[in-house]
Structure 1
Amino acid sequence: MEQDRPMLEDIRLAYAQAGTITAPEELPSSVDEARRRLRHDFVTEFIDRLAEINVDVIRLSELTTAYSFLAEARPVVAIKATGNWFHENWSLAHELGHLVLGHRGVLDGTTGYERDEAAANAFAAELLLPHARMQAVDWTRLHLADLAELVWETGTSTDALRRRLSSLHLECSSEVAAALTMSTQKLLRHHWTGARYGDPITKRMTAATRRSFPSWLHAAHLEQIAAGKIGKRTLAWMLEVDAGSLQVDEPEPTPSLSGAALEEMLGCGETCPPGVDVRLGRSQHPCKRCGEPGNHGNSRPPWTALSIGSYAPGTPGIS
């Protein structure tokens, strides 16, 4: 977790800067309710379906594993971008299980870790490979094309399916057993006949590599930036672009102070020479009036909080 901590802190910052966040509706109370609310064939657009039940998903290549937590009261699942869409589906289902089951702080080495992990795995297995559906298949006569179709439809790996059959004590033919020792990609490339046009397998792989944040979070940051409440650095991080090149609606910059106004603010009776650090309110040269740097001979405290000329509403770190 320590390696992922900076990314997780950045995620929390993104939520904290989003302004007022509407409290989401309650999560499903069981795996059956989750499947009902996600609707049929949800794995083909799993992240979008989770968004419909107000579970946010963030995909980042910098993460080393998946997490689930609450950010500003919103349930969030953060996953690593790998391109393995079947592993991603299992991670999404597993982390949803943690959220639905009310697990918090599930970290290796903590009390109850193995128990909570087993419960989340059982939730994921039942969500993706329901007991009733598995029982309805005649695994002793299943053709490999049908096996490949089932793997594609359920969005699971051959390994996950093999483990599910074992846990349910379902017998299968030697041909099916051998096929389930293949990699998921190999089984699909060799036996799946569902691809009519293009290359949907590669398309799923490519989608699972993309950096992703909830669309509402992007929109919230755009609103906050336009209102001058935050800078655009966090949004640029979410979009993985340079903040300087990101063109968004921003408030008009604060007009520059005239020389006289600046002198009055700094308490200096005469024009200060070049070298005044207006951000800190200290001069790099002595004042013509008092001969001292800093306060220019007046009784005012140092302007250590000033940001004249460089400050504009929305500067990162200033709210």
Structure 2
Amino acid sequence: MAAIADLLNTSIHWLVTGERDPYEVKLSARHAWDPQGRTDQPHDWRTAKRVSNDIAGIYHQVGLGAAGQHATIPAAASPVEAARWARGHLEAAMAEGQVLADHLVTLIERVFAIDVFVIDYDAVFDAYSAEANGAKFIVQRTTGAWWRATFNVAHELGHILHNDLAYSDEERAVRSDEWWANNFAAELLLPEADMGSFDWLTEDVKEVAQFAVSHGVSTAALANRVNTLGIWPSREIVKALAWKTPRLLQNAYSPFWVAPIEDVYRAPRFPGRVIAEHQKAVAEGRISGQTLAWMLGVPTEDVDPNWGAGATMTAKRLHATL
């Protein structure tokens, strides 16, 4: 039955009952765009499900549900309208002098009750957004390319607010969903007002680099936004926007310059409320400390005093028990 369920890309629960598994994860996997073919590149849905199910298991182990009431965007809002609405809520929660891109992850959790995970995983993926046990969450892989990760997280926030998560790609209007999330992320991170206030004719390459860093985006995202808004930059800036992001930063600063927000995505990160719930469950003896140790990056015995204290299960003892 497990093999049949895997072949049909469904659950054993559905095979037996004909109904959705109450613990099945709804998600949206990050699609890569093929500019030559003008299509979304296919991805491995099973890998997406495996990663999302592993994260969902963290919630199920301790019976953890939603972080709070999930915000909903105004009805029939366009991606631009939704992004402006979302940015207004995020900025209202920011401290004076803070930059949105630097604190995007924590702000999303605080404002929209959406957990954000950054994980170091064996599978190759960019980012997923998902829902399990009532909790909505975003998963981003560890990377030093903060410019890509920031856009990914904003893109996945768009999917969740747009409510287009599904049990499989066949249940989604992939192209329109991806278009919506991309346009949402572009306006959220690079508001039209900010783009219009920058002098694209007279500023130099260093100013462009500073603009990219302060908005947490890549040169490609910036170039796309310039084209979408019909902005005509100077030749020097057009040339700079064709570079890869590291080259822009190295040219403007130094070969060894590192942006502060790189630390947000370079190492694993888990939501504070998830860690706290696992600490409580381990202390009460309801679960082992294996998952908590994984999240904290420490040996299990460091967080679970009972780890390894029980009798070891041998083949003889198992046979006697059965």
* TM-score clears 0.5: yes
Q: In the TM superposition, what is the alpha-carbon distance from 1:237 to its structure 2 partner?
A: 2.7
Q: For residue 115 of structure 2, what is the aligned residue in structure 1?
A: 56
Q: What is the CA–CA distance in structure 1 between the aligned matches of 2:315 and 2:197, rounded to whole Å?
A: 80
Q: In the TM superposition, what is the alpha-carbon distance from 1:4 to its structure 2 partner?
A: 4.0
**What SS does the aligned partner of 1:82 have?**
coil
Structure 2 vs 1, CA of residues 55 and 109 (structure 1 numbering), >3 Å: closer, same or farther? same
Q: Does 1:164 align with 2:225?
A: yes
**What SS does the aligned partner of 2:130 have?**
strand
Question: Which segment drifts farther, 180-189 or 169-178?
Answer: 180-189
Q: 1:34 is aligned with what amino acid?
A: A
Q: What is the CA–CA distance in structure 1 between the aligned matches of 2:150 and 2:316, rounded to whole Å?
A: 54
Q: For residue 38 of structure 1, what is the aligned residue in structure 2?
A: 90
Unaligned runs of 5+ in 2: 1-44, 74-81, 92-97
2:280 is matched with which residue: 196, 211, 223?
223
Q: Contact (CA 8 Å) 2:67, 2:114: kept in 1 or not? A: no
Q: Does 1:139 align with 2:200?
A: yes
The CA RMSD measured in Å over matched residues stands at 2.7
Q: Contact (CA 8 Å) 1:139, 1:173: kept in 2 or not? A: yes
| 1:147-296 mapped onto 2 (5 Å cutoff) | 147-192=208-253, 199-201=257-259, 203-243=260-300, 245-248=301-304, 277-280=316-319, 282=320
Q: What is the CA–CA distance in structure 1 between the aligned matches of 2:238 and 2:183, rounded to whole Å?
A: 22
Structure 2 vs 1, CA of residues 179 and 23 (structure 1 numbering), >3 Å: closer, same or farther? closer
Q: What is the CA–CA distance in structure 1 between the aligned matches of 2:198 and 2:60, rounded to whole Å?
A: 48
Q: In the TM superposition, what is the alpha-carbon distance from 1:173 to its structure 2 partner?
A: 0.8
Q: Contact (CA 8 Å) 1:19, 1:224: kept in 2 or not? A: no
Question: Which segment drifts farther, 161-170 or 61-70?
Answer: 61-70
Aligned residue-pair number: 258
Q: In the TM superposition, what is the alpha-carbon distance from 1:13 to its structure 2 partner?
A: 0.8
Q: Contact (CA 8 Å) 2:117, 2:138: kept in 1 or not? A: yes
Q: 2:223 is aligned with what amino acid?
A: R
**Identity level (%):** 27
Q: What is the CA–CA distance in structure 2 between the aligned matches of 1:276 and 1:36, rounded to whole Å?
A: 61
Q: In the TM superposition, what is the alpha-carbon distance from 1:180 to its structure 2 partner?
A: 0.5
Q: In the TM superposition, what is the alpha-carbon distance from 1:125 to its structure 2 partner?
A: 0.3
| 1:100-139 mapped onto 2 (5 Å cutoff) | 100-105=161-166, 111-139=172-200
Q: What is the CA–CA distance in structure 2 between the aligned matches of 1:276 and 1:208, rounded to whole Å?
A: 44
Q: In the TM superposition, what is the alpha-carbon distance from 1:67 to its structure 2 partner?
A: 0.7
Q: For residue 149 of structure 2, what is the aligned residue in structure 1?
A: 88
Q: 1:247 is aligned with what amino acid?
A: V
Name the larger-Rg structure: 1
Unaligned runs of 5+ in 1: 257-274, 283-302, 305-319
Q: In the TM superposition, what is the alpha-carbon distance from 1:21 to its structure 2 partner?
A: 3.6
Q: In the TM superposition, what is the alpha-carbon distance from 1:51 to its structure 2 partner?
A: 1.8
Q: What is the CA–CA distance in structure 1 between the aligned matches of 2:263 and 2:277, rounded to whole Å?
A: 27
Q: 1:176 is aligned with what amino acid?
A: I
**What SS does the aligned partner of 1:213 have?**
coil
Q: What is the CA–CA distance in structure 2 between the aligned matches of 1:124 and 1:116, rounded to whole Å?
A: 12
Q: Using CA pairs below 8 Å that are at least 6 residues apart, which structure has the higher relative contact order?
A: 2
Q: Contact (CA 8 Å) 1:222, 1:248: kept in 2 or not? A: no
Q: In the TM superposition, what is the alpha-carbon distance from 1:151 to its structure 2 partner?
A: 0.6
